[in-house]
Amino acid sequence: MTAPARTGGGVPSPARSSKPRERSLKAVPAERRRSAAAERAYARRAQRTSPKRGPAVTRQQAVAPKAPFVVMVMVVLGVGIAAIMWLATQATADSYRLQDARAEETRLARQVDQLRREVALAESPASLADAAAKLGLVPAGDPARLRQLPDGTVEVYGKPSAVQPPPPPTSSSATPPAQGEQPAQGQTTQPPAQGQDEAAQQAGGGQTPPQG
Amino acid sequence: MPGPSRGRPVRRPLSVRGPAPRKRRGGNSRVRLAVGRLLLVGALLLAGIKLVQVQGFQAEALSAQAEQQRATKIDIAAPRGSILDRNGNQLAFSVEARALYVVPKRMRQEWAEALEARPEIGSFEKRIADMAAFIEQTLGTEVAGQKTDRDTMLAKLSQDTTYVELVDNVDPAKAAVITEKYHNIGSEYRAVRVYPNGELASNIIGAANWRKDAEPPATHGLLGLEIAQDNLLAGSDGLRIVDTMQGDDVVIPGPDRSRELAAATPGKSLELTLDVDTQYAVQRMVTDYTTKSKARSGSAVVMDSRTGEILAMANDKTFDPNDFGNATEDELRNIAVTSVFEPGSVNKLVTAATAIEDGVYQPDSVLRVDGSIKVADRRIGDWWQHGPMDMTFTGVFAKSSNVGTLMTAQKIGQDRYSDMLRKFGLGKRTQSGLPGEESGYVPPLNQWSGSTFGNLPIGQGLNMTLLQMTGMYQAIANDGVRIAPRIVRAEVSADGSRKEVNPADTERVVSPQTAKTVRDMFRAVVQKAPGPDAVAQSGTGVPAALPGYQISGKTGTAQQIDPKCDCYSSSQYWITFAGILPADNPRFVVGIMLDNPTEGPQSAAPLFHDIASYLTQRYQLPLSAEQSPIVPLVV
């Protein structure tokens, strides 16, 4: 494959070239019989001319806009640095605030935990019963049940049983009531008992409760 | 061609000074290039070999070693779920706490070094005395049953050991105050399980405690539902990898030094079917009644008749879950499901329901009942002496006649009867979700002896748990459809999503019409007839009646087995009662069992009355539209 390329390349080259340097080369007989000195001279000329001309022209053109560009870059850099510093400060300040907020959150979460625990303990039936006993309340006895008939009369089912006075076995709740509280206890237990008696009397006198 | 080209293509020299030095370089560079190339190739080869060795053969070992040096895996404990009642009241939940510890040896050593540099800081003894005083000042003299007074703390601080735990279950805020003031005191995460209701329902809920030795340390169940549902409550642990100093547990600080590989999945919460208020009231009544009747034990179950949900399950003995270590075996048991008994006459329900379903008798059919009946080689009598008498079919059960029941059972036949026992859920676990549940025992049909069929219909020779017994009546209350009882109503995820737990088993036992007829028949058990015939026409469970409501139920008395003679005892009984409230529009089923009560009325009917009375108030049940009619029992 290499041989045809070489022959192909050799034939059209003389016809195409139009640049002066090429033309001068073409003047040399086909087999390039240039001496070493001529070779060096060409090289020297090439070194002298070609690299210098281009840059010299462009440098002259770039001189004018250099100063504003530098100023602009400096301004951009300055603004950038200032912005970065400001942001960094803000970030640090925020991280402190975040830390504070986290600490506050932990504290509040613990408080919620604590309160949840207290509420759960306070609303458990056992502690409610204790609290009620301390107020002098006793569990209700067997109630009677009333039914109002369409004609307005009331039927009584069952016989209400009187509530026992506060039981003595709960020593902790029995001892605390001081002298001041005793009459209050009497008041809370007696009137219901009377009321129940009345209800029972009414039941006996008015409607006869169907048994069973 | 000038110059030594040696067959290579001639390059055009770029510089005029080119050719002169080139001549000198020629021979040298060739050697140098060759040597350099050789060295480089050699180095590359070596590097390549090492690369293959490190990346290929030693890769695993080395990366493991590196990982070991740097990364430490830490399991993240998932927060444990709560246990709630049906209204969202908390029965068990976890709160965060801290354990305070010191490393006395190191503390002493460090103090000695500091003392050398600055003698004015005072002696080590004074330091730990200050610490002890500050702890007492902050925590008080006792935390969760542990002493934290000055002397106890000082004794612990002055020990010459490597690690001492000062106190457990400290409020995190207080722990932070202490550790901030004294950096030698370390604090460690703990979760404390709180049981706000104490002993209430503790046989069901159980108890859980903190496991230091578990990986990762976490709260795990020990008893009851806490252990039965531990996997669900505990959730699954997450995994975190932290970079640590070599040979140390110190985590290197930095944003990328701690990587959470998997987040912990918080445990699910269990919503139980229990209603804590009902449970409290029933618990109190059962305990009082058991004490009053001097029974060995007593328990009661309240079920929602339509759903099979257990609203209350109380045993006379319970324990304090915060102090389960001191609980006795009896206190830990949930006898309503872990102990079996012979139900006695309560089991006559099976005979009654089957006879009505099969059309053997109608409620007002009249049976001629003798004083006793012979089944195989045994003669079985009634609980009261009587000659031949005419009883209605209703009367047979209202008066709890063994003879009448056995006469009916024989008409039903063994096969059908055995099948019905199974349908009523006897002899197999209810799958209620309660741990330690017993299956009870019903002899298989092929092992029945001649007299077996004289025993089973009257509730002897087979045994069941209280929950199974209550379940039988639930089927009748729920128009003949038995729904397996259950204790867990729903599983609630941490994000609030609920997953309802469906009943394990639903089975039609009898037709709705039969169920209604049987309910109506069993109202006569609590019937109190007026007039001269009162004794003859009244049922066996009159005290269970609740004026204003129709009550349907059955009393039971079963002889216990005397271990001395391996025969039925004539002095020790299981007293049972099962009832439906209200019978005309069933809402609740209550089962009661008393183990050998020795005082007061030998009946659980009064306790049923109390529980039923409470339930009507608690759930505001409307009065029955009509009162139970008085029906003839004996004609």
Q: Tens digits of per-residue pLDDT, B335-347?
A: 999 999 999 999 9
Query: Among residues B305, B339, B345, B400, which one is catalytic?
Result: B345
Q: What's the CA gap between B98 and B175, in Å, rounded?
A: 7
Confirm or reject contact between B600 and chain A (CB < 8 A): no
Distance from CA of B543 to the nearest CA of A (A): 10
Residues of B in contact with A157 (CB under 8 A): 547-548, 623
Q: What's the CA gap between B365 and B395, in Å, rounded?
A: 10
pLDDT of residue B305: 94
Q: Is B548 in contact with A126 (Cβ distance < 8 A)?
A: no
Radius of gyration of chain A (CA): 57
Q: What's the CA gap between B482 and B515, in Å, rounded?
A: 11
Backbone angles phi, psi at B125, to 5 degrees: -60, -40
Using the CB atoms, write b or e for A89-119: b if 16+ within 10 Å: eeeeeeeeeeeeeeeeeeeeebeebeeebee
Q: Is B547 in contact with A145 (Cβ distance < 8 A)?
A: yes
Per the CB < 8 A criterion, the answer to whether B576 and B472 are in contact is no
Q: Tokens 């976890």 sit at which residue?
A: B94
Look at strands B258-262 and B238-243 and give their pairing.
antiparallel
Per the CB < 8 A criterion, the answer to whether B265 and B235 are in contact is yes
Q: What's the CA gap between B442 and B472, in Å, rounded?
A: 14
Examine the pLDDT at A206 and tell me if it is beyond 50: no
Residues of B in contact with A107 (CB under 8 A): 173
pLDDT of residue A160: 82
Q: What's the CA gap between B398 and B418, in Å, rounded?
A: 23
Per the CB < 8 A criterion, the answer to whether A107 and B173 are in contact is yes
Q: Is B624 a catalytic residue?
A: no
Copy the structure tokens of residue B200: 């209430």
Q: What are the DSSP calls for B456-489, one per residue? A: GGGT-S-BB-HHHHHHHHHHHHTTTEEE--BSEE
Would you tell me which residues 79-118 of chain A have a C-beta closer than 8 angstroms to some C-beta of chain B? 107, 110, 113-114, 116-117
Provide mean pLDDT across the span B378-404. 90
Confirm or reject contact between B628 and chain A (CB < 8 A): yes
Which residue is closest to B285 within chain A, CA to CA? A139
Q: Tens digits of per-residue pLDDT, B571-614?
A: 889 999 999 999 999 999 999 999 999 888 889 999 999 999 99
The residues, ordered by sequence, that sit 6+ positions from A62 with a Cβ below 8 Å of its Cβ are none
Lowest mean pLDDT among A62-76, B217-231, B425-439, B513-527: A62-76
Residue among A110, A124, A157 minimizing CB distance to B547: A157
Residue among B16, B200, B529 minimizing CB distance to A126: B200
Q: Tens digits of per-residue pLDDT, A82-133?
A: 999 999 999 999 999 999 999 899 889 888 888 888 898 898 998 999 999 8
Cα first-last separation, chain A = 123
Provide mean pLDDT across the span A146-170. 79
Collapse the DSSP code of B83 into the 3-class scheme (helix H, G, I; strand E, B; otherwise coil) and give the result: strand
Collapse the DSSP code of B102 into the 3-class scheme (helix H, G, I; strand E, B; otherwise coil) and give the result: strand
Q: Say whether the peptide bond before residue B216 is cis (omega within 30 degrees of 0).
A: yes
Partners of B490 in the β-ladder: B271, B500
Which residue is closest to A159 within chain B, CA to CA? B547
ipTM of predicted assembly, 2 dp: 0.72
